[in-house]
Amino acid sequence: MDEKEIRDLVEDWVRAVHEKNADAVVAHAARDILMFDLAPPLRHRGAAEQKRGLAGWFASFDGPVEYKVRDLDVVAGDDVAFSTSLNWIGGKRTNGERTDVWVRATIGYRKVERRWTVVHEHVSVPFYMDGSYKAAVDLKP
């Protein structure tokens, strides 16, 4: 049941990102959510900051954000859970570039008043250890 609720949450979240609906994304977040994101800084915190970041990111897409979650694994206890997945982000950017990247996502949840809430998210790509220090944005699962 808990796993089902978290899978529904992720599905809802994917839809919200696809529709560029920052409010619907943030509706799942704890007020003090801790974010380890694709872009610097190392971390940021808070639902207001999440909303601000999403608004800017959504605005950089010319049209919808394509978003796909693969290999979603949910580890759920009574009131603490986390999930892992590989997520694909695609779409046309306002600068003319095309985004097409697979990222790793780890989400941490806490059950607050009988409802699963996102208290942590960690989204990243690895980087090449060949001296280039380039983000590995070309990997496929």
Q: Which residues of the shown chain bind a copy of itself in the complex (CB under 8 A)?
A: 34, 36-43, 73, 75-82, 84, 86, 102, 104, 106, 108, 110, 119-120, 122, 124-129, 133-137, 139, 141
Q: Name which of 16 and 87 has its Cβ closer to a copy of itself.
A: 87
Please, what is the minimum distance in Å from the beta carbon of residue 55 to a copy of itself? 15
Q: Name which of 2 and 19 has its Cβ closer to a copy of itself.
A: 2
User: H or E stretch including 49?
Assistant: helix 47-59
Please, what is the minimum distance in Å from the beta carbon of residue 35 to a copy of itself? 10
Q: Which three-class secondary structure state does DSSP give residue 136?
A: coil
Q: Name which of 14 and 87 has its Cβ closer to a copy of itself.
A: 87
Per the rule left: phi > 0, alpha: psi between -120 and 50, beta: everything else, 131 is: left
Per-residue buried b or exposed e for 39-51, using 16+ beta carbons within 10 Å of the residue's own CB: eeeeebebbeebe
User: H or E stretch including 22?
Assistant: helix 22-26
Nearest to 96 by CA among 63, 53, 136: 63
Contact 70, 104 (CB under 8 A): no
Q: Name which of 27 and 86 has its Cβ closer to a copy of itself.
A: 86
Q: Name which of 15 and 139 has its Cβ closer to a copy of itself.
A: 139
Please, what is the minimum distance in Å from the beta carbon of residue 22 to a copy of itself? 18
Please, what is the minimum distance in Å from the beta carbon of residue 49 to a copy of itself? 15
Q: Which three-class secondary structure state does DSSP give residue 103?
A: strand
Please, what is the minimum distance in Å from the beta carbon of residue 97 to a copy of itself? 9
